[in-house]
Structure 1
Amino acid sequence: MEEQRTNRIKLPHSTLEKISELILPSVAHRFLFGLPSQFPVARMLMGALFGAVTGSGLFFGLVSNISLTFFHKVIAGYAFVAVCVLGGMFSSYFRCTVLLMFPNIFGSRGRAFGMFLVLHALFQGPISNIQHNVQDVAFSMGCNIDLQIKYSKVMWRAVTEPFVQVLEEIVDDSVKFQKEAQNVSSEFQSIRDEVMGHYGYESLGQNDTAAGNSTQEQYVAKTMMRCDYVVKQGIERCQDWFSSKWQECMDTVDSVIINHFLCVPMKFEFLCNIMRVMTPWCEDKIPVEGNFGQTFDKLSSSIDKLGEQFTTNVVLQKLEQHPMYVTALQDEFRKELTKTFQETKNTFENISKFIQILLSFAFLAGFASGFRYAQQYTRNSRFDNVYITTYFKQIDERRKALGKTYLLPMRKAEKSNFIDPCNLKIHPSELKPVIAGLVQVVSLALLTFVLLATDGVLFHFFDIIQRHTFTEFSITSHHNIHIDIDGDSMLAKLLRKTIGAFNTSSKLDIDSSNQQCLPQPHALSHSDYLWCVLPLLLMGTMCCLQVYANRIRRVITAFYFPKREKRRILFLYNLQLDRHISYIIRQRKRLRRRRLPPNQMLSTLLSPLAWFGCKLHWCWVCEEHVRQSKSVQCSDPHCTVLYCPQCWKDLGSSCVCSAHTDSRSQDSESDTDVYYVG
């Protein structure tokens, strides 16, 4: 009876069940691995708690980067958690799918999430920093150009301002200039009257034209006529004096006869003619310069023009190259540059926001991936059914104990089709997704390295510009002109009004620098580098752990669907048992169809090693490398097939060229009936 009771005891069909039986209390073990009818209330409560916890986590991960109002978040959160609670209470698919999200993190979904993290860190870190530094340098160049233009204007103003000031003073004194010109004209009129006037001689009956046409001839003639007139007037006055003295003498002497004798000298009027000798003297002693007339004409003409046309309306022509247009062009260029950088910044921000939204929906992608895996697991017996599980071994042990055909240990060529979940060695079929993931990580790492290196190079370059382009401006200008014009003459007054305007002074002393125009490059912080590098390291780690996480997926699904797991293992065992029986026939048929040795490309690449006695040999059955000393070759000289010792033994120690294939055996190509899902 005791032996029969022991035989009735249910043996654990999985390693997880064995561990649970050893560690957990019996009640907890029966709760986890018992029938669904056991502990129904507790199962529903635990399912509701599981749904609430996982729903809250999924919701916060989903809406963390989505802009919603607090009210909408609360409503959506309650609805989402309620759905998850219902799913946790009544759906094994839901509970299984939620748990499958965790091993999926180490797979392609996790790498996608890590890639989004890296891209987000790149956009927020080096890409944004490069854009900021380039924008800063562009604005710095514009600022330096504006600063140079500004100080060029200051220097030009310092040079031209004294002259402008002189001209402005002349313009301001225009009324005084006009008055002085009129005074000069009026003062010169007396000189003109003296030269051109008809006084000092008897003009009646005199013809100026006969004297000459030029001013020189007229002035000479008038001078001589004045001299003659003076002599004539002297003679007439002399004669009048003799006449008056004769009358006085006659009136003084009363005697008629005596007075005539005494006053006879008063009748010597002829003596007055002696003054006529002055006429030759005038010609000799009062000469007129030969160019007097020409000089007077020029001076008179100048004085006339000075009084009639001279004005002090000084016109200052300022040549400007459309300053308003240049300023508008500079402003437009600055606005366009700012607009371009702002558009680029907005594009980067939009891409960053889009990546954040993708990060949020990555949880949903992981959930959908887990649901698809659970669905395929329960519907397709060939889906991811390549594991030698505990139940597989139990079936094989029972058949071995009953003396029936068994599978374990498998032949060498058969081992390549199965994975031992307890073995840490990576199976070749598991290696492909690992390599694909590492290629993706390396590509992303190269992109990250290029962007970080570019940002670092640009930062150091801009930092050199900042440290070595500092410029100090020192503009010094001293201007002092003082001209003294003494005298009260007309010319002195005129010169004081004109030349005196140049008495100006100015002083300019400016000390400045381009400190405000220097670029201020920004370097990435240590946290930026960590956000770029740590996700890459995490992705690389996930690639290595992906193999073992994929094995855990089957364990989780088998825990929720134990009956389906048994049917899958029975299907796999029966399928492999059929393969095992027809192993020799299938291998011989496969080798007969093969024309070239395995790994032909690798052998061709490594063919130079044959010169050093290191030629590579491959087993045609298991396609593994085998040493030439241990390899088995067919005795037929025309046969080139090589075998490793184990495969030679599995084929019954006979080559394919010497054996006949059973025509009744059918090769169903069952090697592809079950497949691994990475």
Structure 2
Amino acid sequence: LTSLDCAMLSIVKSFAKFVFFTTVGGGIGYFFWETAGKNIDFGDPKFNVWIHWFVVVSFALSCGLIQMVRSVILMTLVTILNVHGQAFVQCALMALVADSPGQNLMMNFHQATDSLLCNIDVAKNVTRAKMDLLFKPSENILDDLLQGAKAAAKVSQDLPLMVQDLEAELGRDPNSGTDREHEAYEKDVNEWESAYLMKKGELPTKIEAMFEHRVSERKLRELSYRKEALRNFIRRATHACEDIINSAIRECKLWSLEHYNKCWAENWLNPFCKIYQGDELCNMLNMINYRGEQCESNNSGISEYANTYGAQLAAAEDYTEKLSDDFKLNIQFKVDLPLRRPDLVTVQQMAAIIKQSVSGIVSFVKYFSILMKAVSFFLALTTLRVNLSWFQSYMKDVTHSNCYLTKFWLDIEKRRKEENRKHLMPLRPFEQGRINNLLSPKPTPEERKHLVRGISTLFHMFWSIFSLIIIDDQFYHLLDMVKDYSGIEVNQTGRHDIIITLEGTGEVARMIGSVIEDLNQTVKLDQVINNEHCVVQPTKIDYESVKKIWLLYALLCFQLTAGVYLVRLRLLITNLMYPEREKVRAVWLYNDMLRNRAMHFRKRKVEINKMAMNDEFPKPTSSVWSDVFVCIYCGEKGKYDFSTCDKHNQNIDHCKHCWEEELAERCIACLLQRENIVGKDGRIKEEYRALSVAEASTNTERN
């Protein structure tokens, strides 16, 4: 091929590579948007579509043009399908479970609740019709009787007023001078009080207004107390006069004492304060003599007035009894009451309460699903950031995740083995914990931990999802069976007669009879009630959604079991994209392993030298009961291909690789038992550094 042909071939390869990775990037971008960003709303449908295609095109062009972005996006795709994507898939699985069986179960429960409430309402309508047949006639009669009772109550309320008016008319004495005497007393006392207040500086107009207010208040009190006073007049007639005089004297005494204390407090040298002291002021009114002359004599005419009042009151009571005796009401009402009408919350209120609570649960499930999808979106972004950080560490730090045997490492091992130089395969036990074969199916300790945790998570998630789907399906079949056998139809017929007879010739009987007319009633019932509108219509679970759930669960099973190996694909991707970087990392790892193995063998030589000098070796693991050998040099365990030296107090075992490659078929304890192999400079002596060259055939084969 000419140089032009090579250039054209390179251009074609580059273009094909660009098209391939652009297509892959577009597919990854579309997958990312459909699974993580589809439920994000930017407020405008057109803007949402524009953002959608912007994300897809950005992924496509970035993968096609930029190698670093291509590597990070491919690693992100692998990670989403792997350990770092487990949370993403779990969130998507939880969102789908909440969307399909969860919401379907809530909706079926909602419909079952509505159907139950509707049937309760139908039952209440049946009961209500029966109750109306039982109670409606009696309620009508009781309403009419209540109107008559109100009229009778008004008459009975007016009778005491009529009696009181009669009492007042009988008790009025036009020739009595009591009122005139009271007015004269009041006038005198007002003059004394006016003079006293004017001395204190009060204005005459204010004093006159005070007197007028006092008179009006007294008249109001007389009017308000008149009825009660007349009712108790007979009972208190014998001591009312004395009670009035005693009260007046007591008030006078208290008034004098109060003004005396007040005058004394203002000026204790004032000689006029003596006026209020003692009984002079109250005795001056001659009230004590008035009590003896008027109340304790027959001058008041109380007894005569009381006799007249009692006779008139007895006549009024006789009239009332006669009025009542002429009234008689006979009600014939016979009905059987099998039920009591409960006073409960209405069905509409119950339905509103339950619908409100169920709607809250449905809304919670709906928004929880949206939240899980939003969390999935942010988890995808987090995974992208984690892989970018991992890629940057891979490019900068040669030790980052450099613990796998890659293809170039194996090529180095093969070449050194062909050149008969120091090589590392097979790995020694002290190296197997650090180094792992990239293509080996055996999981590493870290991968084994993820595998155990993943299987436990799968077990719990399986029972949770399976239980929810089974409960939803069984609840649907239960409601479907209820729908087939819950239809009812009630035919109600009935009749209720009531007859009321009113007897009496008195005023009250005639008055009530004029109020309640046409009391004889007949109520009939003939209706058909069914619950066809209450039959529940359950919603069957969408088996397409169930299929998607189990597909996601299968993907999660792959991630948590075989998917733990896919974490190694990050190294394969970066090694594929950056082969030169892979060579640098493989060379460093190979040299580091050679260095660590040499350091380990030097350390073991010093330790074995100390044990051989003292002839003190650990007890061998091989015995009659156990045929397992442990190499004293590298720690390899096994049952076959071991060489044993019995020249020491304990048998010394050597594995095949150490015996043939490292020790040239010689016992290391025999080689290192003559002297201390560490020189004065702290380093191993030259003759003990390389033991792979045979000097003598002093080996002992295994029996």
Q: Please tell me the TM-score bracket, short chain as reference.
A: 0.5 to 0.7
Tell whether 2:95 aligns with 1:120: yes
**Within 2, Cα distance between the matches of 1:558 and 1:142?**
68
Compared with structure 1, are the counterparts of its residues 124 and 152 closer, same or farther at alpha carbon in structure 2 (3 Å cutoff)? same
SS at 1:450 equivalent: helix
**Within 2, Cα distance between the matches of 1:344 and 1:624?**
62
Following superposition, the deviation at residue 119 of structure 1 comes to 0.1
2:37 corresponds to which of 50, 56, 63: 63
1:374 corresponds to which of 383, 391, 396: 391
Tell whether 2:112 aligns with 1:145: no
Tell whether 2:412 aligns with 1:395: yes
Tell whether 2:421 aligns with 1:446: no
Q: How many residues align?
A: 471
Aligned-partner residue type, residue 156 of structure 1: M
Which entry has the higher C-alpha Rg, 1 or 2? Answer: 1
Tell whether 2:350 aligns with 1:350: no
Q: Which residue of 2 aligns with 1:577?
A: 594
Q: Which runs of 5+ in 1 are unaligned?
A: 1-25, 33-37, 175-300, 315-322, 484-496, 598-612, 666-678
- Deviation track 1:571-615 (CA, whole Å, cap 9, x = no partner) reads 0010111123234345689999xxxx9xxxxxxxxxxxxxxx998
**Within 2, Cα distance between the matches of 1:421 and 1:363?**
26
Whether the 8 Å contact between 2:83 and 2:567 is mirrored in structure 1 is no
Following superposition, the deviation at residue 382 of structure 1 comes to 1.9
Following superposition, the deviation at residue 345 of structure 1 comes to 1.6
Following superposition, the deviation at residue 108 of structure 1 comes to 1.8
Aligned-partner residue type, residue 118 of structure 1: L
Following superposition, the deviation at residue 61 of structure 1 comes to 5.1
Compared with structure 1, are the counterparts of its residues 477 and 651 closer, same or farther at alpha carbon in structure 2 (3 Å cutoff)? farther
2:78 corresponds to which of 103, 113, 133: 103
Q: Which residue of 1 aligns with 2:48?
A: 73
User: After the TM superposition, which residues 147-186 of structure 1 pair with which residues of structure 2 at under 5 Å, given as runs?
Assistant: 147-163=122-138
SS at 2:405 equivalent: coil
Following superposition, the deviation at residue 405 of structure 1 comes to 1.4
Following superposition, the deviation at residue 353 of structure 1 comes to 0.6
User: After the TM superposition, which residues 521-540 of structure 1 pair with which residues of structure 2 at under 5 Å, given as runs?
Assistant: 521-540=538-557
**Within 2, Cα distance between the matches of 1:423 and 1:337?**
59
Q: Which runs of 5+ in 2 are unaligned?
A: 150-318, 333-340, 501-513, 610-617, 619-623, 685-703
TM-score by length of 1: 0.55
Whether the 8 Å contact between 1:412 and 1:647 is mirrored in structure 2 is no
Compared with structure 1, are the counterparts of its residues 356 and 642 closer, same or farther at alpha carbon in structure 2 (3 Å cutoff)? farther
Compared with structure 1, are the counterparts of its residues 405 and 513 closer, same or farther at alpha carbon in structure 2 (3 Å cutoff)? same
Aligned-partner residue type, residue 406 of structure 1: H
Q: Which residue of 1 aligns with 2:354?
A: 337
- Deviation track 1:361-389 (CA, whole Å, cap 9, x = no partner) reads 44433432332332221122222222322
**Within 1, Cα distance between the matches of 2:626 and 2:479?**
57
Following superposition, the deviation at residue 117 of structure 1 comes to 2.1
Whether the 8 Å contact between 1:459 and 1:522 is mirrored in structure 2 is yes
**Within 2, Cα distance between the matches of 1:516 and 1:623?**
82
User: After the TM superposition, which residues 272-291 of structure 1 pair with which residues of structure 2 at under 5 Å, given as runs?
Assistant: none
Compared with structure 1, are the counterparts of its residues 31 and 106 closer, same or farther at alpha carbon in structure 2 (3 Å cutoff)? farther
Aligned-partner residue type, residue 573 of structure 1: Y
Compared with structure 1, are the counterparts of its residues 163 and 637 closer, same or farther at alpha carbon in structure 2 (3 Å cutoff)? farther
Compared with structure 1, are the counterparts of its residues 469 and 655 closer, same or farther at alpha carbon in structure 2 (3 Å cutoff)? farther
TM-score by length of 2: 0.53
SS at 2:525 equivalent: strand
**Within 2, Cα distance between the matches of 1:470 and 1:580?**
85
Tell whether 2:105 aligns with 1:130: yes
Whether the 8 Å contact between 1:133 and 1:459 is mirrored in structure 2 is yes
Whether the 8 Å contact between 1:106 and 1:543 is mirrored in structure 2 is no
Root-mean-square deviation (CA, aligned residues, Å) is 5.4
Following superposition, the deviation at residue 94 of structure 1 comes to 0.7
- Deviation track 1:480-522 (CA, whole Å, cap 9, x = no partner) reads 7999xxxxxxxxxxxxx99x96875544233334454455444
2:449 corresponds to which of 432, 442, 453: 432
SS at 1:509 equivalent: strand
Following superposition, the deviation at residue 645 of structure 1 comes to 7.0
Compared with structure 1, are the counterparts of its residues 337 and 549 closer, same or farther at alpha carbon in structure 2 (3 Å cutoff)? same
Following superposition, the deviation at residue 540 of structure 1 comes to 0.9
Whether the 8 Å contact between 1:47 and 1:89 is mirrored in structure 2 is yes
Following superposition, the deviation at residue 104 of structure 1 comes to 1.6
Compared with structure 1, are the counterparts of its residues 526 and 617 closer, same or farther at alpha carbon in structure 2 (3 Å cutoff)? farther
**Within 1, Cα distance between the matches of 2:62 and 2:428?**
45
Tell whether 2:439 aligns with 1:418: no
Aligned-partner residue type, residue 443 of structure 1: H
**Within 2, Cα distance between the matches of 1:638 and 1:463?**
85
Greater mean alpha carbon deviation, residues 465-474 or residues 122-131: 465-474
2:572 corresponds to which of 552, 555, 559: 555
Following superposition, the deviation at residue 557 of structure 1 comes to 0.5
Q: Percent identity?
A: 19
SS at 2:472 equivalent: helix
- Deviation track 1:332-380 (CA, whole Å, cap 9, x = no partner) reads 4433322222222212111111112233344433432332332221122
Compared with structure 1, are the counterparts of its residues 623 and 538 closer, same or farther at alpha carbon in structure 2 (3 Å cutoff)? farther
